A and B are shown apart, each in its own frame.
Chain A
Amino acid sequence: MNKPTHIKPVLELKGLQKSFGDNHVLKGFDLRLFEGENLVVMGKSGSGKSVMIKCLVGLLQADGGSIHIRNHDITTLGQKELDVLRTEIGFLFQGSALYDSMTVRENLEFPLRRHKAKLNITETNEVLVLEALESVGLAHAIDLMPEELSGGMKRRVALARALILKPKIILYDEPTTGLDPITSNEIIQLMRSIQKKYGTSSLIITHDVDCARVISNRIILLIDGINYIEGTYEELIQSNDPEVKAFFKS
């Protein structure tokens, strides 16, 4: 396991717990994401991966444990402080979550309207939107509506929107789900190129083994609400643990 311990993590979860009634989804999940790292969290459908990532950005309230993002404990932050911290985090939703009443341009301008001045961004909206769209290869789609885009294009626009405020951390919730193998591969390559260009740290939630193999520096397997095992892709595929074997074989 090549887990760097000498540097401070940009994102840290300790003992995260979350239940829905009697359904205990997370039972003390731990995670540390380091600067410039691609950390993949894998697990079966319904294992609580999306719940974990939503707790991370404050969309869901954790029942227990601590969440530190860039030295801020988000469970103690007020709404204003949380909103400011959220500008440092890009989030790619599973279904892209583009605002369907707005054009691609307006979708990308939306985060700028509230935070551009606060973040001392001097470039015009036009320049920022075009730069983000060019980095995902979709500058020509600037005035299209989301309904006019294919699944892969939607995912790219959503990625451009996540990048528009130049975040330090990007969270990907199932980035390749629902896409064909060729488009999935394009999205994975795009994620890699974005990380190189912007130097971001990425937390990727997926059950796509190919995606994990190509992109991960480290993988955590989430089973029964805890981090069952952690390691590089090569370490995990050589594991003799039946659960890990079953997961990677499937």
Chain B
Amino acid sequence: MAASLQIFQKTKAFFIEIGDISFFALRFFKEVFTKPFEFKELMRQCYHMGNRSLLLVGVTGFILGLVFTLQSRPTLMEFGAESWMPSMVSISIVREIGPVIIALICAGRIGSGIGAELGSMRVTEQIDAMEVSGTNPFKYLVVTRIVATTLMLPLLIVFGDTIALIGSAIVENLKGAVSYQLYFNQVFDALKFSDILPATVKSFFFGFAIGLIGCYKGYHCKKGTVGVGEASNSAVVYTSMLLFVIDFIAVFVSDIFFEV
């Protein structure tokens, strides 16, 4: 009885939180199109999130391409199909693995960073100070960060995918003596509009989810240092879950519009 009551309470709390996040998102859409636009802060956040994530995304993408090619090579060779390697790797990375892995990496780096930063600002009354000074903290802190992640994530994913394909090309060049030109010719032959468009569209949603959850958790952080830790941690957990849900919906929808 106690266990079922506990499950009921947790489920209830979960759905209440989903409702709160939805209201938070609605407030974002209400405020994103109204003046004043905080362009300077938006540019600062874009630089902070985009430029400073390049190394992490680049290294992750490179290793991803490298490992994926190394692991797939023996199986393809068994069937005498190693010439399919560039098409298989490029489609897998561009369509699915690249966006999801890079979004998860960014959820860890950017999402937790936003959660911790806004959380500590809440705890140390900096958000209150902003409000008292007559500046809308939601607009200055939340709107700019969500817009920045939404704009930056697709660029980071394109960058990460490119580095992953370069990593894959290096393995093919070393192991299979395939020239870089031949490798990339096959990559561009294999990739279609229907591979690139859904992946690009869903990467905007990934970016929005990372910004939204990070900001929600930080903005509503409970008092104390424990609250900041929880905000940062739960921002990553919630975002990771949401990324898979968005990915599932994206695959489902693109399946309707394009033959996968």
Q: Which residues of A contact B (CB under 8 A)?
A: 54, 57-59, 79, 83-84, 86-87, 89, 91, 93-95, 97-101, 110-111, 114-115, 161
Contacts and interface: CB of A to CB of B under 8 A. Distances in A.
A221 B133 CA distance: 28
B17 interface: no
Contact of B134 (A54, A83, A95, A99): A83
B133 A93 contact: no
B128 A59 contact: yes
- In the complex, which of the residues B124, B125, B128, B134 has the most CB atoms of chain A within 10 Å of its own CB atom? B134
A91 B129 contact: yes
A49 B128 CA distance: 16
A86 B125 contact: no
Contacts of B136: 79, 83
7 contacts: A59-B132, A83-B136, A86-B134, A93-B128, A94-B125, A111-B133, A111-B135
A58 B128 CA distance: 10
Contacts, number: 50
Contact of A110 (B121, B124, B125, B135): B135
A89 B129 contact: no
B126 A87 contact: no
Contacts of B125: 93-95, 97
B19 interface: no
- In the complex, which of the residues A79, A89, A97, A114 has the most CB atoms of chain B within 10 Å of its own CB atom? A97
Nearest to A112: B133
Contact of A86 (B117, B121, B124, B132): B132
Interface residues of B, number: 15
A114 B36 contact: yes
B132 A95 contact: no
B130 to A, nearest CB: 8
Contact of A115 (B126, B129, B134): B134
B131 A59 contact: yes
Contacts of B121: 99
B122 to A, nearest CB: 11
A26 B121 CA distance: 27
Given A54-B128, A95-B124, A97-B125, 15 more contacts: A57-B132, A83-B135, A87-B134, A89-B132, A91-B132, A93-B129, A97-B126, A99-B121, A99-B129, A99-B130, A100-B124, A100-B126, A110-B133, A111-B133, A114-B36
Interface string B119-163: 001001110111111111000000000000000000000000000
Contacts of B36: 114
A99 B136 CA distance: 15
Nearest to B48: A101
A89 B134 CA distance: 10
- In the complex, which of the residues B36, B126, B128 has the most CB atoms of chain A within 10 Å of its own CB atom? B126
A202 to B, nearest CB: 16
A130 B50 CA distance: 35
B113 to A, nearest CB: 12
A110 B137 CA distance: 12
Contacts of B129: 91, 93, 97-99
A99 B44 CA distance: 15
Contact of A84 (B117, B130, B134): B134
A150 B150 CA distance: 38
Nearest to A164: B133
A91 B127 CA distance: 13
A113 to B, nearest CB: 8
Contacts of B117: 101
Contacts of A89: 132
A95 B224 CA distance: 13
